[in-house]
Every structure is written in C-alpha cells, then in structure tokens.
Chains A and B, each alone.
Chain A
Amino acid sequence: EDQVTQSPEALRLQEGESSSLNCSYTVSGLRGLFWYRQDPGKGPEFLFTLYSAGEEKEKERLKATLTKKESFLHITAPKPEDSATYLCAVRLWGAGSYQLTFGKGTKLSVIP
C-alpha cells in the first residue's frame, strides 16, 4: 500500500487556468512534507517544506498547504514554464527518519 499518493497523475491546463495538485499520505508521525519540481532528465528541485497542519507557503505562482491527511499545491495563473513533474515526499519521526518517501508525481503541462 502506497504511503504517499499524488493525484492526478497528469494534468493539462491552459495558460492562466488555475488548479491544484493533491498529495495524500497515510502515515502517522509526520516530521515534514516536501514538494519538489522535476524537469525531464534532471534532478528534483526543492520548492517547499511544510511541518504542521494549517501551514501555508508561497513562491511566485505556487502555494502549498497542509492538513492532517493531505497537502495541496495550488498553481495560480500558470505559465508554460511551470510545466514539469511535481513530486511530494514525506519524512517521519523515529526509525526511518533519514528517509524521504516519495509519491509518483503529477505531470503538469501548461498549454499556451
């Protein structure tokens, strides 16, 4: 059973069409939830870390929010350069706290 589930798997948006990506997790003892952006053939690039329910962080057109069971990455008025795969990952307290457990990602395509 996947501990981190991202939806949708793929999303196509028109330029300027706002939407949200979802990351749900079934683990307990969340130490942190991470969002990364990955371009094709490159390594993931860090976007945000969220630590507690109710926390929000923003960067340009992106805003990440966290509840007790899921996180959303809101994209406002996206541009073609926002096209990428967005990865969510969790880190737990206790044994295994060294490890980030990743979801499979959401591939976002923004059409001009």
Chain B
Amino acid sequence: DGGITQSPKYLFRKEGQNVTLSCEQNLNHDAMYWYRQDPGQGLRLIYYSQIVNDFQKGDIAEGYSVSREKKESFPLTVTSAQKNPTAFYLCASSPLGLTNEKLFFGSGTQLSVL
C-alpha cells in the first residue's frame, strides 16, 4: 500500500543530543514537508522540499535541519540548539500542481526530552 512512514513512533532526547526523525514515502510525490504540532496549537511548518537536493525553511526552522538526497526520503534532525523540542512531529507529502494540492500525512513521531 502507498503511504508515508514515520519512525520511530516515540523518541526521547537527552539534553545536548541531536536526534533524527525518519520520513519515507512511496507515493511518488515531489513535495515533502515537516510540521510541528503542540497541544492547543495549529500545525506549524518547519521545512519543506519540492525537489531532490533542495529545501526551504518554514516558519520555525531554527534548531532543525533536513536533507533531501532521495525523492522518497526527507529526514528531520532536531539539534541541541532547539531548546523546546517536545512536540508531535508530522511529515507530509504532496504532488505538485494545481489539481492535486492536498497533503498526505504520516502517523507522526512524539518527541520528548528526558
């Protein structure tokens, strides 16, 4: 079945540690996105990528980094510079173009600080 796979489901970070969240899609979508969700808040865009080897910052990119070496993969690294990393992280993908604009989401990764 086609879809977006995020792993792990739960992740714990120690202070000063970098952690990487995985996102893989087999939908053949060009665009991929990372959103952060906090309780009582709307989803906020961290980074997005429309093509391999290219990505742009979203509204809250500080303390995060990404790579897009393959069309199928868009990993997110939460660095030690992100002082409040506890949140639910959602990866999404979409085709490009005017007629297929909806985002397909993965099942999320809950990141907590030890």
Chain B interface, number of residues (Cβ within 8 angstroms): 26
**Chain B interface secondary structure, helix, strand, loop or mixed?**
strand
* B113 to A: closest C-beta gap in Å: 18
Residue among A32, A42, A91, A102 making CB contact with B42, cutoff 8 Å: A102
A104 CA to B108 CA in the complex, in Å? 17
A87 CA to B50 CA in the complex, in Å? 24
A91 CA to B33 CA in the complex, in Å? 14
Q: Flag the segment in A13-21, A43-51, A54-62, A64-72 that touches B.
A: A43-51
**20 residue pairs bridging A and B, Cβ less than 8 Å apart:** A32-B101, A34-B102, A34-B103, A36-B105, A41-B88, A43-B4, A43-B6, A43-B92, A43-B105, A43-B106, A43-B108, A49-B101, A91-B101, A98-B31, A99-B48, A99-B58, A100-B45, A102-B42, A104-B41, A104-B42
